[in-house]
Amino acid sequence: MIKKILIANRGEIAVRVIRAAREMGVLTVAVFSDADADAMHTRLADEAVHIGDSKPSASYLDMDKIIAVAKEAGADAIHPGYGFLSERAGFSGACEKAGIVFIGPSASAMRKLGAKIDAKKLAVANDVPIVPGFFKSGASDKQLKKAAKEIGYPVMLKASAGGGGRGMRIVRDPAEFDSELKLASDEALKGFGDGAMMVEKLIDRPRHIEVQFLADSHGNVACLFERECSLQRRHQKVVEESPSPVMTNELWQGMRSASERLVKASGYVGAGTVEFMFDESSGEFYFLEVNARLQVEHPVTEAITGVDLVQWQIKIASGEELALSEKLMKGDRSAISGHAIEARIISEDPAKGFMPSIGKIVGWAEPLTDGVRVDTGFEAGAEVSQFYDSLLAKVIAHSNDRAGAIAKLDAALQDFHVLGVTTNIALLLDVIDHEGFVAGRFDTGFLSREFGEWSGGCDVPEELGNIAAMAAVSTNGKDAESKSKAWETTDSFRIAHT
């Protein structure tokens, strides 16, 4: 069994792994950069080790440094979280070479699935449907342009490596192909260190549906149902839910079977997600990619299945065999418990083109409601840095049905307040209140169409902001003991003391 895990990440995912490990009696080692010296994950872990400058390249992306720290701390495993080194086959291989368990797929499986071009080739070989396109490794700009003409416009340009919407461009006019290709390739090179591109037919108004799976080293694969991830802004997911409002048993069996074939063919071991594009007009689904890691939106799957995905990542990495209920192992939809929806609270300013909002959080209030879960790595006093992702928290609402989950999420978001930085809470409230969302009628272009010009209002009621400001002023200049007591007695709203 794994006894000590180094978490090669930060923020809410680091906190999530720490809490899962703690419940299993597994020790944790946090790593932190200069900017994260006093971050929540550094205080929750059993140990915390400084690994360098605030720039990711000098800290969270330095695999040699992270492996050295793991060895020195006596960690027998590394959990990569998501982002950073989580989908780097080289990191998985380096861990194995160092005698450290990588809590994720092997380097071999990651190479088969990590690059979209290779993953699509594997999909074709295993009778998994894909969108018509051109996926040749090392394709030249000329070849890509020729392929786009043959496929027929509009087309989608995609980076072969990475994900998260970076390196993606829709091209509707052939005259814009060259400029859009350069932009997409440059973005991919900067984001993933690889500017290789592919081109595929654009499916208008698709839904983005993904299948969560667990695979052990004994040949067992469990597909734990789907997540609807169509609500995206600039290709970044904003609201996710499970199950999908449009899922039928026939569609599910097709996606489940395709996912299982692909996972087994790759030799994948661990938790991962097979992503599909669903054309609601035709009823057809197409393979997009495999995310060879834990997903940001994994809590909605946990809510409807009762399965702790992080703990199972650790168990599988320890060599354990999957031991879920027969219904879950077979993907029987009668095992689904209710409905769950997740909203991502992001530190960004709608009035400034949704630019990241950075600075110190001076007030923080979370919803305290049954059926609502908050995953975060932030609190009052924490600094939102310019160096990292602007995700502050995830709010997950679980209820007996979709309408109940929406109502719970609405109430929870109204009770979530952050002072010091601007967030997207007001946008989230408007989105889940929209008649299209409530009816389950949306696709990946929904937010750009319905909220493209959205500028929103204040996400913190004026009177609450005034009260918080007065509370902060009233404690200013008092001694440390009185500040500590003030912290303890401010109930759900916490004020940072400076």
Tell me which of 111, 293, 344, 373 is the catalytic residue.
Answer: 293
356 backbone φψ class: left, alpha, beta (φ>0; ψ -120 to 50):
beta
Q: How far apart are CA 441 and CA 421, in angstroms?
A: 32
Q: How far apart are CA 230 and CA 233, in angstroms?
A: 9
279 backbone φψ class: left, alpha, beta (φ>0; ψ -120 to 50):
beta
336 backbone φψ class: left, alpha, beta (φ>0; ψ -120 to 50):
beta
Q: How far apart are CA 292 and CA 25, in angstroms?
A: 26
* Omega of the bond leading into 154 within 30 degrees of 0 (cis): yes
**Which among 215, 244, 239 is positioned nearest to 227, based on CA atoms?**
244
Residue 391 identity: L
Q: How far apart are CA 233 and CA 460, in angstroms?
A: 22
Q: How far apart are CA 197 and CA 490, in angstroms?
A: 53
**Which among 367, 482, 479 is positioned nearest to 414, based on CA atoms?**
367
- Cβ proximity of 103 and 270 under 8 Å: yes
Identify whether 88 is a catalytic site residue: no
Q: In what order do the strands lie in the sheet with 77-79?
A: 47-52, 27-33, 4-7, 77-79, 101-102
Catalytic sites, residue numbers: 293
